Amino acid sequence: MHPHATNAGHDLLSLLPGDRPDRTPDVVGHWAAIESTPALQDGFIREFWDHGIVQRVSDGRPAGRAGTGLFADGVLLPGGASEAALHERLESTAPVGIACHRHEGIVLANRQRSRGLDGLAARWELVLADGRTLTAPAALPDLRPGQTAVVPLPFALPRDGGDAWLTLRVTTARDEPWAPRGTQMCAPRVRLRIGAPAVEVDADGLLVHPALTAAPTLSLHGTSGVPDALVRKVVSVEWDGERVSVLAEYAGAVGVVRHRQEFTPVPDGIRVAESAELPEEFRDVTRVGSVLETVAGLAVEPGESCLVSVTHHRAEQPPTAAAHHDTLVPRTGYVVHLDAAHHGARTSPTRLDPPGAHRWTWTLRDL
Find out whether 18 and 197 touch, Cβ atoms under 8 Å: no
Model confidence at 173: pLDDT above 70: yes
pLDDT at 6: 35
Question: What is the C-alpha separation between 96 and 122, in angstroms, rounded?
Answer: 10
CA distance 47 to 74: 5
* Phi, psi for 39 (deg, rounded to 5): -85, -5
pLDDT surpassing 90 at residue 50 = no
193 vs 355: CA distance, rounded Å: 45
CA distances, 5 to each of 99, 291, 335 (Å): 6, 28, 26
- For residue 289, give Cα distances in angstroms to 88, 249, 283: 26, 15, 15
> Rounded to whole angstroms, how far apart are CA atoms 123 and 139?
8
- The residues spanned by each domain of the chain are 212-366
Q: What are phi and psi of 34, to 5 degrees?
A: -65, -45
259, pLDDT greater than 90: yes
Q: How far apart are the first and last CA of the chain?
A: 16
- Structure confidence at residue 61 (pLDDT): 62
Q: What is the mean pLDDT of residues 284-288?
A: 82
What's the CATH number of domain 212-366, 3.30.980.10, 2.70.98.10, 1.10.3720.10, 2.30.42.10? 2.70.98.10
Contact partners, residue 52, CB within 8 Å, separation at least 6: 64, 65, 66, 67, 68, 78
* CA gap 336, 344 in Å, rounded: 18
Cα–Cα distance measured from residue 161 to residue 199, given in angstroms and rounded to the nearest whole number: 17
Mean pLDDT computed over 211-240: 82
- This prediction's pTM: 0.59
pLDDT range class, residue 141, cuts 50, 70, 90: very high
Q: Which whole number is the average pLDDT over 250-272?
A: 89
Quick one: which of 269, 261, 248, 277 has its CA closest to 207? Answer: 261
pLDDT-based confidence at 349, cuts 50/70/90?
very low
Q: Classify burial at 47, counting beta carbons within 10 Å of its beta carbon; exposed 0-12, middle 13-18, buried 19 or more.
A: exposed
3-class DSSP assignment, residue 91: helix
pLDDT (tens digit per residue) in 293-307: 988 767 888 887 788
Paired residues of 35 in beta bridges = none
Closest alpha carbon to 290 in 274, 302, 305 = 274
pLDDT score for 18: 36
Summary mean pLDDT of the chain: 77
pLDDT at residue 79, rounded to an integer: 66
> Which of 10-14, 250-254, 353-357 is the least confident region?
10-14
Question: How much is the average pLDDT of 180-189?
Answer: 92
- Residue 130 or 142, more confident: 142
d(CA 3, CA 127): 17
Residue 43: pLDDT band (50, 70, 90) is low
Measured distance CA(61)–CA(27) in Å, rounded: 35
